[in-house]
Amino acid sequence: MSGAQTQQFDYVIVGAGSAGCLIARYLALHTDATIALVEAGPSTGDIRTSVPVYYLRLYGSQFDWGFATVPQPQLAGRRINWPRGKLVGGCGATNAMIYLLPHELARQRPTWNDDKFTAECPFSDLPLGRLQQLQLASEHFLEVAEQIGWTRQATWASATPGTCGPFTLTQNADGSRAHVGQSIASQTNNASDRLSIFAGHEALLIHTDSGAGRDWRVRSVLTRDRSGVEHRFFAGTEVIVACGAIGSPALLLASGLGESLRPIGCHLQDHLVYPIIYQHKTLPAFPRRFGTRIRDAFRRGKPSPMHSN
């Protein structure tokens, strides 16, 4: 660590997922602070992070942390995959692009402010759309939901009980994926001299000063880049850990802060991936391969199975 390269910023943000990009954008646009946004993965993805239908191919790739649960007794000892995005944009660059507003109960809390959420949330200006080509099986599902009394909506983003509809998606006009990592640089262009994005820097430890008990502050972050070189980012104001429900507690524990911050990781939430595969005797199957006609339609922005999540 003594040979680590050092840099000084006002704020150091660890993790360039949706939360990290939001915080970086807010600080860049509303303060004069210098900001380091540190991300373990690369700055961009490849065709799989652009074409919606390919998102399942990202699991276990270089853009996924590759987490899984411990063996589950209720599943005969099987593990459940727990994909987490590993690039600028985080899971927004690798997931199924489903856009959901906070639940109504959360928005009823006294601390909630709709105007502030809209103004400061990076998703408020992400391109939104709906499935350009609804699969026949999905259409039948929605018809049955209506038959049992659910209210169908043109696009479904509210998570309101008793409603259904095609998901609202974070999708560009041409059908490609939209995520906050794509726009963080352009949105903060006027602050480009103050916001620095360090992709390929995996955080190893966060360092505190020598305060006793809880009377201490985090002062710096130690990272290692893809070449194996260590870097230490000092924060004059604050270090912000935004590594997700798994990564944030893991980094704090690795840094020896488990006892000081107990119960560490409490109330952080995430979801696993457990696919359900079924066969139907009459409904057409989703295509396994995409021929020239389908690929050409996608390139022209016309509805095609490749737009589907």
CATH number of the domain where residue 268 is located: 3.50.50.60
The answer to whether residue 75 is domain-embedded is yes
Burial 265-287 (b: 16+ CB within 10 A, else e): eeeeeeeeeeeeeeeeeeeeeee
The answer to whether residue 114 is domain-embedded is no
| Domain around 203 | 5-97+176-275
**pLDDT of the residue at 70:** 93
The answer to whether residue 52 is domain-embedded is yes
Averaged pLDDT of the chain:
84
The answer to whether residue 81 is domain-embedded is yes
**pLDDT of the residue at 234:** 96
**pLDDT of the residue at 222:** 96
Give the residue from 243, 231, 204, 203 showing the smallest Cα distance to 20. Answer: 243
**pLDDT of the residue at 229:** 95
| Rounded Cα distance, 131 and 113, in Å | 30
The answer to whether residue 108 is domain-embedded is no
The answer to whether residue 45 is domain-embedded is yes
Chain centre distance of CA 305: 24
**pLDDT of the residue at 188:** 60
**pLDDT of the residue at 64:** 96
**pLDDT of the residue at 271:** 78
The answer to whether residue 21 is domain-embedded is yes
**pLDDT of the residue at 121:** 60
Per-residue pLDDT tens for 63-117? Answer: 999 999 999 999 899 999 899 999 999 999 999 998 887 777 777 777 776 666 6
The answer to whether residue 110 is domain-embedded is no
Burial 117-145 (b: 16+ CB within 10 A, else e): eeeebbbeebebbbbbeeeeeeeeebeeb
Q: Count of domains in the chain?
A: 1
Q: Which residues of the chain have a pLDDT value below 50?
A: 122
